[in-house]
Copies of this chain bind each other. A is one copy, B any other.
Amino acid sequence: MQRANQGRLSTDDFSRESICIEHISPELDCGRFPVKRIVGDSLKVSADVVKSGHDVLRADLLYRKKAINVWSRTPMQYDDDEDRWNASFLLKETGTYEYAIEAWVDKYLNLVESTKKWFDSGENILTELDSLNDLIESAIAASPADLKSRLSRRFEEIQKSNTIKAKLQLAEDREFAELVNSSLEKPSLQTSIILEVAVEPTLARFGSWYEMFHRSQGNVPRKSATFADCEKRLPEIRKMGFDVIYLPPIHPIGRTNRRSRNNSGDAGPDDPGSPWAIGNENGGHKSINPDLGTMEDFLHFVCEAKKLDMEVALDLAYQASPDHPYVREHPEWFYHQKDGTIRYAENPPKKYYDIVPFSFENKNWKQLWEELLKVVIFWIEKGVRIFRVDNPHTKPIGFWEWLISSVKSSYPDTIFLAEAFTRPKSMKLLAKLGFSQSYTYFTWKNTKRELEQFLDEFVLSDVSEYYIGNFFTNTPDILSEYLQKGGRPAFKIRLVLAATLSSSYGIYNGFELCENRALTQNSEDYLNSEKYEYKVWDWERPSNIKDFISKVNKIRRENAALQFTSNLRLLRASNENVMFYAKWTQDKRNVIMVAVNLDPFNTQDSTVYVPVKELGVENQSYFVWDLITGKRFEWRGETNYIRLDPNIEPAHILLLEK
């Protein structure tokens, strides 16, 4: 066990600490985990620097890319009101930066300041001036040649000055003081621990995801679509405004215990099986299901997506069908029962018959872990930089920390999205371990109270230091009751909420068509789910909301305020069925207010409360422009009125005109 605090009983092994650097922010779990930021952000670092007595202190913020030896440094500024030191540095690149704080006594300014105080109070300061001269002389003696002459010149001026006042004025000159200081040792020098910040690519904060079930993108019934079919849909998806195309597993699908339609039993010869049952005689996690095409077809698909400025995200599902080559080649990577059989994946009383889990702590764990790392590297080298990770909360904590840091040390632009729906503390821990983004409970939060509680915990708290939620409206596993019952308005409501509450959000295909048929009542599974069968969609189905989605995504692109999540401000609305919130950029040049009617059945009106003081529109009327309908409203003061008919438009996305 590591002892946090050492007992110190002898002066012999006691280090004289005279400056205490405390309460550094940001800091996560005592530095055990890095905080998270996005490339281009400036990281503001603050700390308390406490020393006994009345010395003039100095502090520097030190920072560097991890694995680079040389520190950069910038002076910290002292904030007298807060008794706190602050400095910032720019996170220019993705990857991990380290930062730390150095503090020391400013011997020179200390002496200059006390000399001035004595002088101002009418004391004899000859002794002090003498010490000052000594200090400058020792700085000159210790300084390199180029500095020596500059210092000496100034020193001469000081000595030649006729009055003490003039001498002190020269002595306290900031630039001169810096020069003297740079050649003096730093008394009481104290250094903090080193902290870390993980810098993610922009897409980890701002992106719109489209989950595309590859084999249903064609139009031949009872037959798998191919990557070529998928490619054909890209322009339409780009037109809707999405940045990421996320595909379920693209690998060969196991045959043993393959599931049939609607997960209703063992599969027949025509059932394609669940793509998450990875591996058969054609290969495993590094192979492609021949039904979808070849590796070349996949590469072409990725390439076409990139041409349209979209990234392809793959599904990283660390599990195997019983037919996976790993099962034959590395039996020790799996859990064997006494009778020699391998255990199905299970979470009593649920059994996943068509997959077997890895034994992450088997005696050959290192070999397994290295192989799973190779899987990621394999696809990165094929042009994939985003991985949606299936059920990470059932794999060891240490595995993720190792895997993600290993990948990111070579490929810092990689994005890992954690698909964990479990206890909040586990979800938060995964984010700390290195996942760029995480799924959230958003999908099930429908009432104002539920939404606000959820946002308070995951967005408006310190959790935002490391947790970036990706708000999905639906997934192949989750067709929420709200969508099942609320019809087309419900789909528009959930889209606006996802897309404006969070800068990262996603939909699963079919959402744009308002697909809402559930397997059974009380089930969140889709009827005739693509997970177990081939499907053909009519992408132009009547009553689709593709234009609405295009519009909302366009608004997101054109309004920087919506490209952040931590700037969310929940505002008051008098009606419990109406959510009202705002986002603005730091400079307040882009201010967006959103009002959403959460009731998909009835028109709701509400008084909404605008923070006019903060927005600088106090005591005046101002215009808000609904970016959905194009209508302008003249508002005045804090309280204003809105009315939303879900069958027309269930939400306002209002731009404050300035």
Query: Which A residues fall within an 8 A CB radius of B?
Result: 1-5, 7-9, 11-12, 14-20, 22-23, 29-34, 48, 50-54, 66-67, 83, 96, 98, 100, 113-114, 117-118, 120-121, 123, 127, 130-131, 134, 191-196, 337-339, 346-349, 361, 365-366, 369-370, 392-399, 401-402, 405-406, 409, 423-426, 429
B9 x A409 contact (CB < 8 A): yes
Which residue of chain B has its CB nearest to the CB of A429?
B50
Kindly identify which residue among B18, B52, B338, B366 contacts A130, using a CB–CB cutoff of 8 Å.
B338
Closest 3 A-B residue pairs measured CB to CB?
A: A4-B31, A30-B30, A117-B348
Residues of B within 8 A of A30 (CB): 4, 30-31
12 pairs, CB–CB < 8 Å, chain A vs chain B: A1-B191, A3-B193, A5-B32, A7-B67, A7-B96, A8-B406, A11-B369, A17-B401, A22-B29, A50-B397, A50-B429, A52-B396
**Which residues from B are CB-within-8-Å of A96?**
7
Q: A11-B370, A11-B402, A127-B339 are in contact. Are A5 and B22 (CB under 8 A)?
A: no
Specify which chain B residues have a CB less than 8 angstroms from the CB of A50 in the assembled complex.
397, 425-426, 429
Q: Contacts A22-B29, A194-B2, A405-B8: A123 and B349 contacting too (C-beta < 8 A)?
A: yes
A365 to B188, CA, bound (A): 14
Interface centre among A123, A348, A395 (most CB of B within 10 A): A348
* Bound form: Cα–Cα A123–B12 in Å: 67
Chain A interface mostly helix, strand, loop or mixed?
A: mixed
Among B131, B397, B423, the residue within 8 A (CB) of A19 is B397
**Minimum distance in angstroms from A407 CB to a CB of chain B:** 10
* A398–B17 touching, CB < 8 Å: yes
A121 partner residues in chain B, CB cutoff 8 A: 348-349
Report A284 CB to chain B, min CB distance, Å.
21
Give chain B residues whose Cβ lies under 8 Å from the Cβ of A405. 7-9
- Which single residue of chain B is at the shortest CB-CB distance from A53? B394
* Alpha-carbon distance A402/B6, docked complex (angstroms): 11
Q: Are A193 and B2 in contact (CB under 8 A)?
A: yes
Smallest Cβ-Cβ distance to A427: which chain B residue: B50
Contact A52–B393 (Cβ < 8 Å) = yes
Contact B192 A1 (CB under 8 A): yes
CA A207 to CA B29, docked complex, whole Å: 37
Supply 13 further A-B pairs (C-beta < 8 A) apart from A5-B34, A83-B425, A121-B349.
A2-B194, A4-B30, A4-B193, A4-B195, A11-B369, A11-B370, A16-B365, A16-B398, A16-B399, A19-B397, A20-B429, A50-B397, A121-B348
Contacts of A31 in B (CB 8 A): 4-5, 30
- Distance in angstroms from A193 CB to nearest chain B CB is 5
Q: How far is the CA of A1 from the CA of B398 in the complex (A)?
A: 25
For the complex formed, measure the closest distance between the CB of A510 and the CB atoms of chain B, giving whole angstroms: 31
Taking a contact as CB atoms under 8 Å apart, the answer to whether B83 and A7 are in contact is no
- Closest B residue to A187 by beta carbon equals B361
A100 CB contacts on chain B under 8 angstroms: 1
Interchain CB contact (< 8 A) of A1 among B19, B130, B193:
B193
Contact residue among B48, B196, B406, B423 (Cβ-Cβ distance under 8 Å from A83): B423
